[in-house]
Amino acid sequence: MRTLVFATANLGKKEELEALLGPGWLVRSAADFPKLPEVEEDQPTFEGNAAKKAHAFAKATGLMALADDSGLCVDALEGRPGVFSARYAPGTDGDRIAKLLGELGDVPAGQRTARFVCALCLATPDGKETFTRGTCEGRIIGTPRGTHGFGYDPIFELPHGKTMAELTRDEKSAVSHRGAAFRALARMVSLSPIG
């Protein structure tokens, strides 16, 4: 059994990763290590933030550590909110959605293309690192739809016409940026294990 610590407090993400890695792996989370360092996500790229967290956790625990960073990149806004997705506006997910729709204004449907991006970094205590990235293409609609998920899901419409918030958890994992990045990681560690 190989062990890794996933630098997240989000149990849903941990369960999604466990299901994809299979029984050969023991996945621990930040919750199992009460004295972990607080890591500021101040890097200009998703990969930079993921690497910063993964290396800090690998060093602090002596275990192989995985960290993710994700966000929404809107083409008409030159990639915003990007790495600032969580902090784009103070308040709730609804406040951030309202700000994004306000910034987009009356940009026509054909120019509202966007993608969710998820970068993963797997780091070893001796400083080795490896990355995967998953993306999910869609477009930003004007009126939120759906009640599942979180964040910008209700305004992100997939090519088949449903928003991310209209998908079940398993349906979302099959098409999402995070699901794609997790599957790429699972393939990678099964082919060329690091650590």
The DSSP symbol for 81 reads B
Give the binding-site size for ligand IMP (rule: CB under 6 A). 15
Among 26, 62, 94, 150, binds ligand IMP (CB under 6 A): 150
Q: Residue 129 Cβ, how far from ligand IMP at the closest point, in Å?
A: 18
- Smallest CA-to-CA distance from 180 within 115, 127, 129 is with 115
Q: Residue 120 Cβ, how far from ligand IMP at the closest point, in Å?
A: 10
Q: Residue 193 Cβ, how far from ligand IMP at the closest point, in Å?
A: 25
Q: Residues 172 to 191: which contact ligand IMP by CB under 6 A?
A: 176
- Smallest CA-to-CA distance from 87 within 110, 64, 71 is with 71
Rg (CA), the chain: 17
Q: Locate 4 and state its tokens.
A: 């890794």
Residue 134 binding ligand IMP, by CB under 6 A: no
Q: How many CA within 13 A on the CB side of residue 172?
A: 21
Helix (H, G, I), strand (E, B) or coil at 158: coil
Q: Residues 44 to 73: which contact ligand IMP by CB under 6 A?
A: 68-72
Instruction: Give 70 or 124: the residue with its C-beta nearer to ligand IMP.
Output: 70
Q: By CB under 6 A, which span of 29-37, 125-133, 148-156, 180-188 interacts with ligand IMP? A: 148-156
Alpha-carbon gap, residue 173 to 177, rounded angstroms:
8
32, 42, 68, 69: which one is catalytic? 69
Q: Is 75 a catalytic residue?
A: no
Residue 31 binding ligand IMP, by CB under 6 A: no
Q: By CB under 6 A, which span of 32-40, 104-112, 121-129, 144-152 interacts with ligand IMP? A: 144-152
The DSSP symbol for 76 reads G
Residue 152 binding ligand IMP, by CB under 6 A: yes
Q: Which residues contact 72 (CB under 8 A, 6 or more apart)?
A: 81, 82, 85, 100, 114, 115, 116, 117, 151, 152, 156
Interacting residue ranges for ligand IMP, rule: CB under 6 A: 68-72, 85-86, 116, 149-153, 164, 176
Which residues are identified as catalytic? 69
